[in-house]
Chain A
Amino acid sequence: MRVALFVTCLADTLFPQVGRACVALLERLGHKVEFPAGQTCCGQMHVNTGYQRQALPLIRRYADTFTGFDAVVVPSGSCTGSVRHQHAMVARRHGDNDLAWRAEQVAAKTFELSEFVTDVLGLEDVGAYYPHRVTYHPTCHSLRLLRVGDRPLRLLRHVAGIDLAELPDAEACCGFGGTFAVKNADVSTAMLADKMRNVLATSAEACVASDSSCLMHIGGGLSRLNAGTRTVHLAEILASTKEKR
């Protein structure tokens, strides 16, 4: 199985530890991971802000880069959702049916990390060790676009040493929403305030999720409050072991 990592532009640029964790995890599970250097961005920010024409070259690049792999692993529910639900739609809306067809083929092989580990590899216990109290925030797009359900939680429950606290009102949006976080900054941070209140109520050391974007938003709020609670990506927890933390 040829496995490619689509690290996402955000993790590549600002959270490289998430990409490194994906590589460490998948290699530990016995898979060689390739990082096609032609990859850039899925184009979701453009599509969700209304700039679909500008997203077309990014969608084309994604299809070109990842055609030929058996699986593309993405440490983001949101970017996976964009690949699966937006790429072909945007191509078709701009009359490029060939690209739409290719986008659908690649999308069918694109998996969010927890989907890949549970559905493709058939694993729930990945041999991870993480001796911390954490609470899991299910991000909207993994929950309602991808329907990952409890896959991330199943993976987390098998992590040795973990103290998993239930997040109150977990399925409520954190308020990130891409450019919404800037265009409607006040509403976005009002939503964030409630999310942080719930995270802090769990007394967790860290809030875990499978999207760096939502974590950047939640983490940015917690940092501003000096709350003493950090954020961590699911990949980082699954990658850590007793030997390597």
Chain B
Amino acid sequence: MSTFGGMPVAPRGVGHLRGDEPFPVAARRALANPQLRRNLAKATTTIRAKRARVVGELPDWEELREAGRAIKAHTMANLAGYLERLESEFAAHGGTVHWARDAVEANRIVTDLVQAAGATEVVKVKSIVTDEIGLNEALAAAGITAVETDLAELIVQLGRDRPSHFLVPAIHRNRAEIREIFLREMDGVDPALTDEPRALAEAARLHLRRKFLSARVGISGANFAVAETGTLCVVESEGNGRMCLTLPDTLITVMGIEKVVPSWADMGVFLQLLPRSSTGERMNPYTSMWSGVTPGDGPRQVHLVLLDNGRTAALADETGRQALHCIRCSACLNVCPVYERVGGHAYGSVYPGPIGAVLSPMLTGIEDNASLPFASSLCGACYDACPVKIDIPSILVHLRARHVEEAARTSRVPSPEAVTMAAAAWAMSDPARFAAAQRGGRFGRLLGRRGAIRRLPPPLSGWTRARDAPVPPSETFRQWWRREHGDGP
């Protein structure tokens, strides 16, 4: 079994944490899609401006971020205790708690519960964690249909597609494409459907109402779980989530173990940070909270599946563990210059963008997502935007080192890159050798044409595909200095 930090990671062959191809290859395909790039640029630019506006309203935004960071750090350092508290409180209010080591166990627990309820169709609240574990596929294999009820998730599901953003899973689709998907896939849809947003939403509403009223089981994730009262919380914009949380007889919630917070006072911090960072709203339209079963109101059976799936492994990494502080707001995606150009699919995981580039490799073990920590120019915009101050650039640098160290440990022959890096370090750790290397580099002058080099050999050929390279000067700085000032110290 593969591990990260000595702990078992999310198993292969189930769920959606690993892509089929390395990031640069997937990114190249995404870059070649002009429609995708237009959609992404438009959506991220709009949401960036909205976020900046509402964040700017709060004079204590930086203090809130620090509070969010501190609460998460404290919770992670005392995770076992808070999870046990959550379990006992949830059970005391009539709920049932299940512990799932990984995606396989979680899928089996949920499938068993749905079958025990005698259902063949379930309605789902928008949830990333159930996509992480591939729950819909597992249910389908057991003959159970999972219906996504979040509008964007429904678009993705009907389009037989993958989500590409936490908050706006269909960010890569525009309304013309959505209309086509509805006309093709939605039972009983009005053939005269236009691509007006109101008409599209109305079509989805009619489709979903039928599902809500017949469903016996609802499935959700959770944004937060308050340990002191055993309360689960889902925040959303559409109200479809609340339908799923209140109408069916059985409610099953799958939640990563990092989502627990100690107390209600902490919610005051996160319910300010999350909507402003994600949708750029002061407050999200629907916040649903439930603690176990309430007689005469809502579901009769309430289950909570607490999922590890590599999280304990991530927790074992002293530098990387802060990635578990993520509240899935997607602010880092919206400000990331890489995400803005390639979209979420290129990351190959349900966790795209900067946070995905650190979280996915920690959940799967670094070698299963080795290209992701390199999918960043380290520009730092993500760190500035993160509402809980996750230092994503530092984690990226840390994971790059872990990847290089892991590769050096497991492969007998060093990669060409490792050889180049070692040679460069050898040359640069001595000024005489460095000066000699500079003199050697001046042969590059031979490649120059009219003041620029238009083509370099591999591995630098990637540079000159779209950029000229400078011709080395006839005299380096240190040669000039020596000529002007002599040898000196």
Main secondary structure on A side of the interface with B: helix
- Is residue A173 within 8 Å, beta carbon to beta carbon, of the partner chain? yes
Residues of B bordering A, CB below 8 Å: 23-24, 27-28, 31, 337-338, 341-342, 374-381, 383-384, 394, 397, 400-405, 417-418, 421-422, 424-425, 428-431, 434, 438, 441, 451-452, 454, 459-460, 462-463, 465-470, 472-473, 475-482, 485, 487-489
Main secondary structure on B side of the interface with A: helix
Stretch of A118-126, A156-164, A217-225 lying at the B interface: A217-225
- Determine whether the beta carbon of A57 is less than 8 Å from that of B377: no
Max chain A CB contacts within 10 Å: which of B383, B384, B404, B422?
A: B404
- Determine whether the beta carbon of B466 is less than 8 Å from that of A221: yes
Contacting residues, chain B, for A50 (C-beta < 8 A): 397, 400-405
> Which listed residue, B341, B467, B477, B485, touches A187 by the CB 8 Å rule?
B341
Contacting residues, chain A, for B337 (C-beta < 8 A): 172-173, 175, 191
Residue of B nearest to A171 (CB): B381
Contact flag A187-B468 (CB < 8 Å), given A12-B477, A13-B438, A48-B400: no
- Determine whether the beta carbon of B378 is less than 8 Å from that of A185: no
> Which listed residue, B384, B405, B421, B429, touches A49 by the CB 8 Å rule?
B421
* Chain A nearest Cβ from B37, distance in angstroms: 8
Instruction: Please list the 8 inter-chain residue pairs (A to B) with the smallest Cβ-Cβ separation, ordered nearest first.
Output: A177-B377, A220-B467, A185-B462, A50-B404, A50-B400, A144-B380, A173-B379, A54-B425
Contact flag A177-B425 (CB < 8 Å), given A9-B434, A12-B477, A13-B472: no
In A179-233, the 8 Å CB interface with B consists of 179-192, 216-217, 219-221, 223-224
* Chain A nearest Cβ from B344, distance in angstroms: 14
Contacting residues, chain B, for A175 (C-beta < 8 A): 337, 377
Contact flag A180-B472 (CB < 8 Å), given A9-B434, A48-B397, A192-B467: no
- Determine whether the beta carbon of B377 is less than 8 Å from that of A9: no
Contact flag A40-B431 (CB < 8 Å), given A35-B478, A189-B465: yes
A168 to B488, CA, bound (A): 45
Contact flag A37-B374 (CB < 8 Å), given A54-B425, A187-B338: no
A18 to B342, CA, bound (A): 35
A57 to B427, CA, bound (A): 11
In A1-46, the 8 Å CB interface with B consists of 7, 9, 11-20, 23, 34-41, 43, 45-46
Contacting residues, chain B, for A45 (C-beta < 8 A): 424
A17 to B480, CA, bound (A): 10
- Is residue A58 within 8 Å, beta carbon to beta carbon, of the partner chain? yes
* Chain B nearest Cβ from A140, distance in angstroms: 4
Residue of B nearest to A78 (CB): B378
Residue of B nearest to A186 (CB): B28
In A103-121, the 8 Å CB interface with B consists of none
